Amino acid sequence: DAGVIQSPRHEVTEMGQEVTLRCKPISGHNSLFWYRQTMMRGLELLIYFNNNVPIDDSGMPEDRFSAKMPNASFSTLKIQPSEPRDSAVYFCASSLAKGAYEQYFGPGTRLTVT
């Protein structure tokens, strides 16, 4: 398996633009997580899905952020409109849903909003 796939790997955009980050989890995994990592706050969970259903989105910073998982093999994290403070590395991870299973992280998307 190719592991968790994220695209793009790097994104530079201007303030106010819409940004869409994409994630393909490992085949067979039914939990998917979106994380954000910044120097100031470290790694933070934004939202997590079980079987394509959002379970907890309490980490989503504000209404400008939205996430969808239309099927078991694809998820998006959208920021609209983007702001410079959204600049961070966004990681997607997947795992099996039941039991204490390991999470497998994607390579991350480094977002810079100017």
Partner 1 sequence: KNEVEQSPQNLTAQEGEFITINCSYSVGISALHWLQQHPGGGIVSLFMLSSGKKKHGRLIATINIQEKHSSLHITASHPRDSAVYICAVRTNNAGNMLTFGGGTRLMVKP
Which of 51, 56, 61, 83 touches partner 1 by CB under 8 A?
A: 56
Which of 69, 82, 108, 113 touches partner 1 by CB under 8 A?
A: 108
In the bound complex, what is the minimum distance in angstroms from residue 12's beta carbon to partner 1? 16
Indicate whether 44 belongs to the interface with partner 1 (CB under 8 A): yes
Indicate whether 48 belongs to the interface with partner 1 (CB under 8 A): yes
Q: Which residues is 7 bridged to in the sheet?
A: 22
Contact criterion met (CB below 8 Å) for 89 and 108: yes
| Residue 84 dihedral angles phi and psi, to the nearest 5° | -55, -35
User: Based on CB atoms, which residue is closest to partner 1, 81 or 97?
Assistant: 97
Contact criterion met (CB below 8 Å) for 15 and 83: yes
Residues in contact with partner 1 by the rule CB under 8 A? 31, 33, 42-45, 48, 50, 55-56, 89, 91, 93, 95, 97, 100-105, 107-108, 110
